[in-house]
Amino acid sequence: MYYPGCSVKDYAKSYEDSAIAVLKLFDVELVELDRWNCCGVVYEYSADAVMQHVAPLRDLIRAQEFMSKIGDNRLVTLCSMCYSTLKKVNEIVTSDSEKLNNLSEYMDDEPRYNCGVDVKHVLEIILDDSIMGLKRIKEAVKRDLSNLRIASFYSCSLLRPKGIGIDDPEDPHIMLDLISSLGAKPIKFPYEKRCCGSYNVVYDRSIVERTVMEIVKAAGRWGADMIITVCPLCHYNLNIVRNKFNIPTIYFTELMAYAMGLDETLSKETLSIFKSKIGGG
């Protein structure tokens, strides 16, 4: 099952296109939920109350209804904010039946949630040796990226909180491993797990501009040609200063698609980024 999230359908369409193409190459099919709504991130992240959990729980119920149709209880997201929100609420209602009861009272228009959905970030699928794994990814690479130096930017919601995050929040490595497997040079830099400024961009763009300036500048000092990320909001924020430092931020799946020669799924803009960085391709 696949939960896209609003960003991935609109602003971050290139994330979805490249991810689906890469996974398809490995016979992994993402089947989009036939009905879904916003994961509820804005309210979910604000404070601990009932209303904020309604949207994510409704999505979990949609997944529960859908999973019997495709015989698979794994719900995959691309956007790390959607992942974090759905995963967290899934854990909350699974471990706290009183909370689930409270929420269900507000949602008497839906069947009860049985806590049987397994929320996954797409990176977990990609790194799982029984599904894809780094070894097979290495084999699928068709382009020489050895001159490309790539920094990874993890996004808070992929690493934190502990238990929800899918990598060591202090010393993450999965994106670096992926970059290595694709044959490019991974750049580990000190700001890889910093917050990009998140939704502050809506209220005060200057806060975010200051933050991403530091991040992207540092990536440049550590020698990166480009940055990869898992989060549409990080992507948006980091790209505010892309021209200042000539360091664009792209989705990690776009890098994978390029490495594997899936050019037809990539936007002209993304292709031109690669061309300018390695020349010709």
Give contact residues for other proteins (rule: CB under 8 A).
4, 6, 9-10, 35-38, 40, 42-43, 51-52, 54-55, 58-59, 106-107, 109-110
Cβ-based nearer residue to other proteins, 17 or 59: 59
Residues ≥6 apart with Cβ < 8 Å to 242 = 216, 248, 249
Both structure tokens of 255 = 């890098």
- The beta strands (E) that lie in the chain are given as 2-3, 74-77, 118-121, 149-153, 185-187, 226-229, 249-251
Q: How far apart are CA 272 and CA 266, in angstroms?
A: 10
Q: How far apart are CA 86 and CA 179, in angstroms?
A: 27
Min CB(185)–other proteins separation in Å? 36
Cβ-based nearer residue to other proteins, 31 or 275: 31
Cβ-based nearer residue to other proteins, 9 or 242: 9
Min CB(167)–other proteins separation in Å? 28
Min CB(19)–other proteins separation in Å? 16
Cβ-based nearer residue to other proteins, 10 or 168: 10
User: What are residue 249's DSSP bridge partners?
Assistant: 227
Q: How far apart are CA 16 and CA 21, in angstroms?
A: 8
Min CB(204)–other proteins separation in Å? 17
Look up residue 12 and give its DSSP letter.
T
User: What are residue 149's DSSP bridge partners?
Assistant: 185
Look up residue 32 and give its DSSP letter.
B
Min CB(54)–other proteins separation in Å? 5
Q: How far apart are CA 120 and CA 134, in angstroms?
A: 18
Cβ-based nearer residue to other proteins, 57 or 219: 57
Cβ-based nearer residue to other proteins, 12 or 126: 12
Q: How far apart are CA 90 and CA 62, in angstroms?
A: 13
Min CB(65)–other proteins separation in Å? 14
Min CB(49)–other proteins separation in Å? 11
Cβ-based nearer residue to other proteins, 42 or 131: 42
Q: How far apart are CA 245 and CA 153, in angstroms?
A: 16
